[in-house]
Each structure stands twice: as C-alpha cells, then as structure tokens.
Structure 1
Amino acid sequence: MSAGFFYLSYFIPRENFWLTFLIYTALFAGMLAVYFLSKQPKWIWIFFGGLLIRLSLLLAIPSLSDDYPRFLWDGELVKMSQNPYLETPEVWLQTHPEIANPYLENLIDLMNSPAYFSVYPPLNQGIFYIAAVLGDLDPWTGIVVLRMLLILGEIGVFFLLLKVFDHFKLSSTKLILYWLNPLVIMEITGNLHFEGFVLLLLLASLFALIKQKHGFSGGFWGLSVGMKLLPLMLIPTFFTFQKTRKSKAFWIGSALALIVSFGWLLIDDSWIHFLQSLKLYQGKFEFNASIYYLLREVGFWIKGYNVIGEITPILSGITLLGILYFSWKRKPENPLNLIDLWVLIYLIYLVLQPVVHPWYLIPAFGLSLFTAKKAFLIWTFAVIFSYQAYGDPNYQESPIFLFIEYAILFAAIYWDYFKNNLKLISTS
C-alpha cells in the first residue's frame, strides 16, 4: 500500500485517470483486506503503518488539487501584515508593486483563483501564516510545513477515534477504514485539504460532550465552524439534543469560539469580500453534483440556458428545511443518536449541492464509523470517478462516470435508510 500511495503521489500525472483509478482501487482493496483480516488489530502497527504512508508523501507536490498556491499566498500576505480579504491577488500585485516579489508572482501564476477574494476563514489564515513564516519564500518548504501540520491533525484524529470507540464500547477495528483509506490519505496529506482538522474538532467536541465538559464541547464545535463553515449546519441539532439545548456552558463556549474565529473579519470590513466570495462560489461553480445536474438539464430544456442562479437558492432552501425537519423529527437522545443525525445532515447537504469535491466527504465519513451506515464508506471509493474530469484538457465531466458514481452511492443510501424500513412495513 505504501508503494501504491508513493507511486500515485510522485509519478502519476492527474491526467492519467485510468492508472489513477487502478491504483486507487487496489489501495481501497488493500485497506479492506487489512480490515477483514484484523480481528484483534495491534494498534501500534496499524498506527505506524498509516503514519509511515503519510510521511512518505511529505515531499510530494499536490497532484490532484491546485489550491495550495492560494494557501501560501494568503499566508505570505498575513506575514507581511497585509489583509488577504481586501483585494484579489491580481489587484494586489498591481497596487503593491513596492512590496511584491518574485515568490508572489510565481504563486499567482500557479493559482486557480487569482481574480477572486479569499474564501478561507481566519483560522485557515493562521495555518497559512505558519507555513509562510517557516517556509521563508520557498513554496516547496511551505508545502512540507502545511503537510506536517495536517499529519499532526491526523494523529489527533486517530487517537480521538480510538477513545470514542472505546467509550461507546464499539469495535475499534473500523478505525482501519479511516486510517488507511486512500481518499483520506490522498486528500488530506497528499492534496493539503483541511477537512481532517474539521473532523478532529468535531470529534473533540463529541469527546468533551460525553465527558460532560459542555463548555469545551461548544468551543470545539465553534472552532470547527471557524476552520470550515460547513459544521454550522449542525446547529439545529444542538437545539433538539437535550444536553446541549439546556447547557449555558455549551452556548457560551460556542459563542466565544465563533467570536475568536470570525471576529477578525470585522477588520477593514473584510466580511464583505469574504461573503462575496462565498456567494460567488455558490452561484457559479459546478463539480461532481448529482441532483443539481439533473435539475440543471431540466432548466436547459425549459429555458435554454444554465439556471444555476435559480436552482442553487432552491436547493439551499430544501437543504435547510431537511436539516430542520430531521433535527426536530429525530430529537437525538444520546451522543450516538446525535452522530447518526450529523451523518444524515451531511448526506442531505452533499447530494443537493452543485459542488461536491471529494474531500468534502471526509468529516461525515469519519463520523459515520460510529454508526451502522455504509454510504459514506462506499462513497469514498465511488468518488474516484469524479477524478475523470482531470483527464480531460477542458476539465469536462463525463455523464457516464457521474452516473456510475451516484448509482453506487444511491444504492448504498437505499440500503442504509430504506431497505430495513421497507422490510418492517412488509412484515407488519
């Protein structure tokens, strides 16, 4: 498996989809083999095996994502006491020629979004700043620093998963499905995405909650929102879960964490451009969607043009109603019920979004290991079909590969959420 990850990260161009697919499939099969053969796993060997795989990728340039130049750019601006939210990179280079340098010019040449304001929250900017300081105007060193920080976060995830499994008296063997999962390793360690930190903070919030440390639980949840905005959609569950609804400490901890995370956006009215970028992201970009693409085709048929601006608010409204309905309907009575509800909320959100990058699955997948649901595990394999777009010179997605991916996913959703219910109805 280590050789497979090494070859995939260092030698295979992302345009070569079929070789990527074959190696990814072999790695997924290897993970399942370790899982099924490990009846009583020796965790020291599992841990160091997964850690060595991650460390073997330390020097690789991210191959399946080109987000890292923006990470390094924002960090460099913060290091120079510049506000990364005030100007787009293109405009900044024009308006600050006296402090621009070849390093920044090189980053903007590599960047996929030089005409957009930064969409990364202030907590992300703090991590980018560390990479800029330690990287010292060298992009390769900056990548290594970011990767080491993410690996440290993954180590935290490993041990928190182990602790939470132990608390709930669940089989910890499922931890193998996260620790050796090719999607997790590729997208967090390989491609430098921060969903691993989101999962770390959500697990910390859960662990504090089951230890009756409600203030810390709220604080960790607030920080997870500060890392990536998506956990904000979990807030209705805290109103229907009795232990959090009635806990002043939880809400105080949440409020303080959110202030620490987002208060920086009040400087120079940075929040205006930050929200502008979020709105642009929601109303312009499309990738690896399912239901949205079907509705878009209906829009083309009826109106003759892309109706993304009309569809996305409707889907966002449906997502919100779904979250509110299931939060009220399920009313979780214990932390395991709460986790199961979180997984459902993530699923509702992702199947209705116009943009579903593979790394978006990771927090929900990690949480789903505490449930009997298999959809996110199966999706971590099926999502490899979305990488086909990288093999096209124009990044054109193939309807055939999208159909295969989502046919597999919706079959898994049917198995998880409908099959047993239909059996109960038929027997009654």
Structure 2
Amino acid sequence: MVVGIYFLGYRVVRTEFSLVLSLYSSLFGLMIFWFFYSKKRTVDWKAVFLVGFILRLVLFPSIPLWSEDFARFLWDGELLNLGFNPYLNTPNQWVQLHSEDFSAYLALLYDRMNSPGYYSVYTPFNQFFFWLGAKLGGGSLIPGLLVLKGILIIGEIAVFFLLKSLLIRFGIGSQKLIFYWLNPFVILEVIGNLHFEGLVLLFLLAVLFGLERKHRLVSASFLAFAVGLKLVPLILAPGFLRIRSKQPWFWMGLGVISLVLFLPLLIDQSWRNFFQSLGLYQGKFEFNASIYYLGREVGYWIEGYNTIAYLTKGLSALTLLLILFLAFKKKINQTKDWIELWIGCYWIYLLLQPVVHPWYLIPGLGLSILTKKIGFLVWSLAVILSYQAYGNHCNVEYPIVLVLEYSLVCVGLIYDYRQHYFTFPIKLLKK
C-alpha cells in the first residue's frame, strides 16, 4: 500500500488514466482484503492506525499532482498575509493592479492556478487556514503546503478516533473504520490533493457526538464550523428544524457562530464577488454529473442547445424540495436517525449536481461508515473513473465511462435501500 500510494502521489499524473485506474483498484482491493482478514480475528487497532498514518505521511511532502486547487489556496493566503482582500479582485486583476507586489512566489502560484479569471469562492473560515499556510510557510511553496497538510493530518487523526468511538457506541463492527482510514480515495484526496472535506467530516462527526450526549450547544457550534468551512453542509439544516424553541441554545449558538464566521464577507462588500463566483460555478461548469447530464440531453433534444442556465436552477429547486421532504418525513428518535437523514441529503445533493468532483463524496462516505450502508463506499471506488476525462487532450468525458461509474453507484444504492424499493410500490398499491 505504501508503494502504491507513493507512485500515485509522486510519479503518476492524472493524464495516465490506465495506470491511475490499475494502481488505485489494487489499493482498494488491498483495503477490502484487510477488512475481511480483520473480521476473522481481533483487530490490532494500533497497527491499523499506524498503517493509515504512515500512508498519509508518505504524501505529506508531496506537491499535488491531480488538482491545481492548492495554488489558489496558497494565493489567497499570501494575499491575506500581505494585507490584501482576496475577494476584492480576481488574480488576473490583482496582477495588473499590484505589479509591484507580484513576487516570484506569487508568480509561481499564478502559473499553476486553474481559475485566475474568477473571484475566490472559498469561505472566510477556509481562508483562515490559507492564511495560516502563508504565515507559517514564510512565502515558500513547500512549507506552505506542509502547514496545510499538517492541519489536515491532525483532522484525520481526530476523525479516526471519533469514528471509532461512535462505532463502538452504536454497536457497529469497528472493522468498518478500515473503509475510511485505509481507503486510497480518502488518503489521496485529503492529503494528496489537499481538500478540506476531511475537516468538514470531522465537524459533522463532532455534531453527532454532541447530539449523542445531548450537548445541543456543542452540536450547534460544530455545525456552524462545518457550514463555515464549506457551504454544502447547509443541506443538512432542514433536519434541524425539528429542534424548536425547547432548545434555544442550539439556535443561538448556530446563529452567533455562523455570523462571526461569515462577517468578513461584509468587508468591502466582498460578498458580491463571492456569490458571483458561486453563481458562475453553478451555472457554467459541468463535470462527472449523472441526472444533470440526462436532463441536459433532453434540453438539447427540445431546445437544440445547452440549457444549463435553466437546468441548474431547476435541479437546485428540486434538491431543496426533496431535502425538505426527506427532513420532515424522516422520524428522528435517536442519533442513528440523524446519520440516515444526512446520508440521504448527501445522496440527493450529489446526484442532482452539475459538478461532482471526487472529494465531494468524503463527508457522505465518512457518515456511511457509521451505518450498514455501502453505497458511498462503492462510489469511492467508482469515482476514480471520473479521472478518465483528464486522459485526453480535450478533457472529454466518455459516456460509456460515466454509465459504468453510475451503474456501480446504482448497485450500491439499490443494495442500501432495497427494502424501501421493494416495499414502497406494494404500500402504494394497498392505498
């Protein structure tokens, strides 16, 4: 596993799709083998933890090969460190306006950036970590990356112990932790490609820990941190409408902390540029989608052109309606019910999105470890097929590869919800 992670982190670029697929599948197979091997005997958790930790350390000094996002992270952090507002100008605009401050380090980041024409789309709380990387990194690429990766590794260690504690508390076989801790998908996307969804999962697990122990203020605080880091956990908010006036501390904590975390957007009206980038992201980009692509084909058939501007708005409205329906339909009697609800919300969100980057799956995968569901685990294997798009010069997604990926996802979904699929039509007929 160490050899495989090393090659994927240092030697194999994403354009070499055949090699990426074979190495990744082999690592996934080794993880599955370890899981079934551990079921036959007492698990040595010190050994499991040590192996997962070593696999992450292997990628600690690496420069991400499969994603250019890190350049924007460090760019925004360096601007903050220099006293500039990263929301005020696009990188292209900033270079023209502040050529005297355009250092060799910023030039290096600028050349590696994949979105110099867009305003920053990262939240103020996320920017805080970027600033730490710049401040402690001393204006150098590798030290800046090491700071950010160190933060993420600490977060991963906390996820390990929280997952283990919750698995024991819920009476689920703790061997399932292997599916997160030794999963090549998690290791490569969090530590290798430097994505903060691992920290989002940490905050969501802390919310569950607070709910389990009836600490509503703790739950509210960590939910605010999760939303403050990435906006996506907002999809979980409708479920909390069940917590009404009997729990005022929950809503007060959530409101106050959220306000503090997003307050910097009011500086120089940064919120305008921030939400402009969010709008462009929702109405312009397409990648690794499922239902959206089907809707797009229908749009081509009816209108003769790409109806993305209308389709994304329609799917966003449908996402909201389905999540609201699920939130009010799901009975919440214990913490496990919250987990089931959240997993359902993530399924709805991801299946209706026009852009589904692999790392978006991490919170859903981590939450599913606490259940008997395997859908997100299957998707964490199938999602490597999305890298096929980088295996050609035009970044074209092959329909046959998308069909294969989402066929595997459907198999996982049907396995998870098979009882509901088969009983719902019968209940409907009886009515």
Fold in common (TM above 0.5) = yes
The amino acid that maps onto 2:255 is: A
1:41 deviates by: 1.1
1:211 deviates by: 1.4
* Alpha-carbon separation, structure 2, partners of 1:233 and 1:224: 11
1:418 deviates by: 3.4
1:80 deviates by: 0.8
Poorly superposed stretches of 4+, deviation over 4 Å: 423-428
Is 1:31 aligned to residue 63 of structure 2?
Answer: no
* Alpha-carbon separation, structure 2, partners of 1:273 and 1:93: 17
1:265 deviates by: 0.6
| Paired position in structure 1 for 2:386 | 386
Indicate if the aligned counterparts of 1:239 and 1:245 stay in contact, CA closer than 8 A. no
Q: How does 1:195-234 map to 2 (within 5 A)?
A: 195-234=197-236
The amino acid that maps onto 1:70 is: R
**Stretch moving more, 83-92 or 231-240:** 231-240
**Secondary structure, counterpart of 2:101 in structure 1:** coil
Indicate if the aligned counterparts of 2:414 and 2:421 stay in contact, CA closer than 8 A. no
1:246 deviates by: 3.0
**Secondary structure, counterpart of 1:38 in structure 2:** helix
The amino acid that maps onto 1:362 is: I
| Paired position in structure 2 for 1:73 | 75
Deviations 1:97-132 (A, max 9, x none): 222212112211110000000000011111001111
* Alpha-carbon separation, structure 2, partners of 1:401 and 1:217: 40
**Secondary structure, counterpart of 2:288 in structure 1:** coil
Indicate if the aligned counterparts of 1:238 and 1:245 stay in contact, CA closer than 8 A. no
The amino acid that maps onto 2:103 is: N
Is 1:102 aligned to residue 110 of structure 2?
Answer: no
Question: What TM-score results when the alignment is normalised by the length of structure 1?
Answer: 0.97
| Paired position in structure 1 for 2:9 | 9
Indicate if the aligned counterparts of 2:87 and 2:270 stay in contact, CA closer than 8 A. yes
- Which of 158, 161, 175 aligns to 2:160? It is 158
* Alpha-carbon separation, structure 1, partners of 2:255 and 2:178: 35
Question: What TM-score results when the alignment is normalised by the length of structure 2?
Answer: 0.96
| Paired position in structure 1 for 2:50 | 48
Indicate if the aligned counterparts of 2:172 and 2:371 stay in contact, CA closer than 8 A. no
1:421 deviates by: 4.4
| Paired position in structure 1 for 2:62 | 60
**Secondary structure, counterpart of 1:98 in structure 2:** helix
Indicate if the aligned counterparts of 2:289 and 2:352 stay in contact, CA closer than 8 A. yes
Is 1:273 aligned to residue 279 of structure 2?
Answer: no
1:340 deviates by: 0.3
1:169 deviates by: 2.1
Residues 245 and 8 (structure 1), Cα distance of their counterparts in 2 relative to 1, 3 Å cut: farther
**Secondary structure, counterpart of 1:35 in structure 2:** helix
What percent of counterpart residues are identical?
49
| Paired position in structure 1 for 2:177 | 175
The amino acid that maps onto 2:102 is: A
| Paired position in structure 1 for 2:368 | 368
1:396 deviates by: 1.0
* Alpha-carbon separation, structure 2, partners of 1:130 and 1:425: 54
**Secondary structure, counterpart of 2:27 in structure 1:** helix
The amino acid that maps onto 2:109 is: L
Indicate if the aligned counterparts of 2:210 and 2:219 stay in contact, CA closer than 8 A. yes
**Stretch moving more, 294-303 or 67-76:** 294-303
Residues 245 and 382 (structure 1), Cα distance of their counterparts in 2 relative to 1, 3 Å cut: farther
Is 1:298 aligned to residue 294 of structure 2?
Answer: no
Indicate if the aligned counterparts of 1:69 and 1:111 stay in contact, CA closer than 8 A. yes
Deviations 1:332-371 (A, max 9, x none): 2211011101000100010000000000000011001112
**Secondary structure, counterpart of 1:137 in structure 2:** coil
Unaligned runs of 5+ in 2: none
- Which of 114, 131, 144 aligns to 1:129? It is 131
The amino acid that maps onto 2:404 is: I
* Alpha-carbon separation, structure 2, partners of 1:245 and 1:166: 32
Deviations 1:195-232 (A, max 9, x none): 00000000011111211211111010001000000001
- Which of 117, 120, 126 aligns to 2:119? It is 117
**Secondary structure, counterpart of 1:120 in structure 2:** coil
